[in-house]
């Protein structure tokens, strides 16, 4: 029952302070010399080994195993004697049984060092984190690269240092992990591991340079998701550039539909002094003041407790555009749909109206907010400090989602609101038409129509869409393959997420070699 299928004979079992001690003797056939593999015939001596075994219930188990030492009778062998190993129970230089070592290795693969050690203590296994990590050994990398090789980068420290993960796309398994993302390192790996026929990548130029240098016959495939992401960014920039046209068109439509009396509109001369507007203005001034003193982006980020991307965004963007974006990002709130009615009632009563009465009226119309919000808005109307009624304009992300989705999946209201956005400006209409056409190319994988799409975009498209088309022309072969072949970097992105999970759990207190080992070992 304790050692099924193992060549040992149990001599006795005793309970010593909650620990089961099992006395056993090896009954296996004489072993072979580990050097020359000659089977032994003569016994030199016997000695006692102490092995930790898997716990039995809540009790720790220790095996006191008597094993034999044999002579090696081959004169040419450098080894005079050797100790037998019991298959399934003992291995050389190990103080734990084979079954317990498998347990510990599985726990170390899943949890790493300290978390695995804490779990082992709960399971009554006496093992430390260092011993657990020593059980992990990276599997050997194949001599040849997989036929379909996926490449992507991941961050050791975001914005500073990066690594590269290589994935067999057909199998979905990580092949190797590189310590940086330079083209030289990747090209050296491709030279040492030939055989890649297809390379799936994002829009990174380092991968392209390495593939053309070390594997010129490999076909590069640009990832479709990254293409759509770049397209969405171009459409969003176009929409942001023409936001005044969109707001003007929406306000005109709103004025014609509001019944008498018309709502009170108080257009301010400048963006309202809201908290987010003031924070944006002060942050812009602080960043540019430090930039004038020749501070680096990292130093400014540490001084102002900001992310480096935020500092870079404030450095490269005009203040007017930042203020407009901050004004557009303000949440509507629960009162926003009822402000037109409140302003109309306030104008009709010439300011002599009860806040409680208006609260009850809009509550009957579906208002679910508090009474205090209504009172604050009425106070702002009496002081002539109320903000104008914001036009109901769909957000850029929502608009782009409507464009990228198939037309038959849109509801009637979504289709109507998208039509209103299209009618606001010819440039927005053209950008939306090109984006929808490109999304259809991606969805149906009609790569043979890509060149014609690029020509149309370069002729009469907005500036941002022309820039996107120019990037596609520079990487025409890889993009055409991405819109034609079924391969993509989806499997690679999934493995990158797994790498991030492992890295965040242990990389700050470990080395790259340990991270690479845990990534390559599959449970």
pLDDT in tens, 447-506: 999 999 999 999 888 888 999 999 999 989 999 999 999 999 999 999 999 998 888 887
Q: What pLDDT score was predicted for residue 320?
A: 79
Q: What pLDDT score was predicted for residue 112?
A: 84
- For residues 337 and 97, the model is more confident at 97
Q: What pLDDT score was predicted for residue 425?
A: 79
Dihedral angle, C-alpha 523, 168, 221, 495, nearest 10 °: 10
Per the CB < 8 A criterion, the answer to whether 300 and 312 are in contact is: no
Burial of 491 (0-12, 13-18, 19+ CB in 10 A): buried
Judged against a pLDDT cut of 70, whether residue 331 lies above it is answered with no
Choice among 34-38, 41-45, 400-404 with the minimum mean pLDDT: 400-404
Choice among 32-36, 101-105, 326-330 with the minimum mean pLDDT: 326-330
User: Alpha helices, DSSP H only, in 383-425?
Assistant: 396-404, 412-422
Q: What helix, strand, coil percent values describe the chain, rounded to 5?
A: 50, 15, 35
pLDDT confidence band for 330 (50 / 70 / 90) = very low
Q: What pLDDT score was predicted for residue 387?
A: 61
pLDDT confidence band for 173 (50 / 70 / 90) = very high
- Report, as an integer, the average pLDDT of 112-137: 87
Cα separation of 476 and 228, whole Å? 15
| Average of per-residue pLDDT values in the chain | 84
Paired strand residues for 60: 19
- Report, as an integer, the average pLDDT of 433-443: 91
Q: What pLDDT score was predicted for residue 265?
A: 43
pLDDT confidence band for 333 (50 / 70 / 90) = low
- Report, as an integer, the average pLDDT of 426-451: 90
- For residues 260 and 346, the model is more confident at 346
Per the CB < 8 A criterion, the answer to whether 62 and 50 are in contact is: yes
Look up the pTM and report it. Answer: 0.69
Q: What pLDDT score was predicted for residue 266?
A: 40
Judged against a pLDDT cut of 50, whether residue 255 lies above it is answered with no
Share of the chain above pLDDT 70, in %: 90
Local structure of residue 366 (DSSP, 8 states): T
Q: What pLDDT score was predicted for residue 523?
A: 64
pLDDT confidence band for 311 (50 / 70 / 90) = very high
Q: What pLDDT score was predicted for residue 263?
A: 44
Nearest to 208 by CA among 187, 225, 229, 226: 187
Q: What pLDDT score was predicted for residue 508?
A: 63
Per the CB < 8 A criterion, the answer to whether 385 and 376 are in contact is: no
Q: What pLDDT score was predicted for residue 179?
A: 92
pLDDT tens for residues 224-250? Answer: 999 999 998 888 888 777 777 766 655
Local structure of residue 507 (DSSP, 8 states): G
pLDDT tens for residues 273-301? Answer: 667 788 888 899 999 999 999 999 999 99
Cα separation of 44 and 163, whole Å? 54
Q: What pLDDT score was predicted for residue 113?
A: 85
Cα separation of 315 and 312, whole Å? 5
Judged against a pLDDT cut of 60, whether residue 321 lies above it is answered with yes
Q: What pLDDT score was predicted for residue 391?
A: 54
Judged against a pLDDT cut of 70, whether residue 397 lies above it is answered with yes
List domains and CATH numbers for the chain: 8-95 (no CATH), 102-134 (no CATH), 148-223+488-520 (3.30.420.10), 225-235+395-482 (no CATH), 259-382 (no CATH)
Q: How many residues does the chain have?
A: 523
């Amino acid at each position: 029952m304790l050692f099924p299928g193992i060549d040992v004979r149990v001599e006795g079992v005793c309970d010593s302070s909650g620990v089961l001690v099992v006395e056993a003797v090896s009954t296996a056939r004489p072993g072979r010399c580990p050097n020359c593999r000659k089977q032994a015939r003569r016994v030199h001596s016997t000695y006692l080994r102490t092995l930790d075994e898997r716990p039995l219930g809540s009790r720790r188990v220790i095996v006191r195993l008597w094993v034999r030492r044999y002579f090696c009778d081959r004169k040419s062998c450098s080894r005079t004697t050797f100790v037998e190993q019991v298959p399934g129970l003992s291995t050389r230089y190990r103080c734990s049984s084979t079954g317990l070592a498998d347990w510990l290795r599985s726990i170390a693969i899943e949890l790493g060092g300290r978390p695995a050690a804490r779990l082992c203590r709960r399971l009554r296994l006496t093992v430390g984190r260092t011993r657990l990590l020593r059980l992990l050994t990276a599997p050997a990398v194949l001599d040849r690269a997989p036929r379909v090789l996926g490449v992507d980068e991941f961050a050791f420290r975001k914005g500073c240092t990066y690594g590269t993960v290589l994935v067999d796309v057909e199998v979905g398994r990580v092949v190797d992990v590189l310590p940086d993302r330079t083209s030289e390192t990747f090209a050296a790996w491709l030279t040492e591991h030939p055989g890649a026929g297809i390379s799936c990548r994002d829009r990174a130029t380092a991968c392209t340079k390495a593939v053309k240098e070390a594997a010129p016959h490999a076909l590069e495939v640009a990832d479709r998701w990254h293409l759509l992401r770049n397209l969405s960014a171009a459409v969003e920039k176009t929409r942001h550039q023409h936001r005044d046209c969109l707001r003007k068109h929406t306000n005109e439509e709103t004025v014609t539909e509001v019944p008498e009396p018309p709502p009170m509109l108080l257009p301010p001369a400048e963006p309202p002094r809201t908290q987010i507007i003031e924070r944006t203005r002060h942050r812009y001034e602080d960043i540019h003041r430090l930039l004038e003193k020749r501070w680096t982006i990292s130093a400014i980020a540490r001084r102002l407790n900001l992310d480096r991307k935020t500092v870079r965004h404030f450095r490269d963007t005009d203040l007017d555009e930042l203020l407009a974006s901050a004004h557009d990002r303000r949440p509507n709130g629960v009162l926003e749909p009822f402000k037109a009615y409140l302003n109309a009632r306030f104008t009709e009563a010439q300011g002599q109206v009860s806040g409680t009465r208006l609260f009850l009226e809009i509550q009957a119309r579906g208002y679910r907010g508090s009474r205090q919000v209504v009172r604050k808005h009425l106070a702002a109307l009496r002081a002539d400090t109320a903000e104008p009624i914001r036009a109901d304009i769909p957000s850029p992300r929502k608009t782009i989602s409507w464009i990228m989705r198939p037309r038959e999946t849109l509801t009637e209201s979504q289709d109507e609101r998208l039509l209103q956005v299209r009618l606001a400006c010819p440039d927005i209409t053209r950008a939306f038409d090109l984006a929808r056409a490109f999304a259809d190319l991606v969805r149906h994988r009609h790569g043979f129509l890509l060149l014609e799409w690029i020509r149309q975009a370069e002729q009469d498209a907005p500036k941002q869409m022309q820039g996107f088309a120019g990037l596609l022309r520079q990487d025409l072969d890889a993009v055409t393959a991405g819109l034609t072949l079924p391969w993509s970097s989806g499997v690679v992105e999934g493995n990158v997420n797994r790498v991030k999970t492992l890295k965040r759990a242990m990389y700050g207190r470990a080395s790259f070699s340990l991270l690479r080992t845990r990534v390559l070992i599959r449970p």
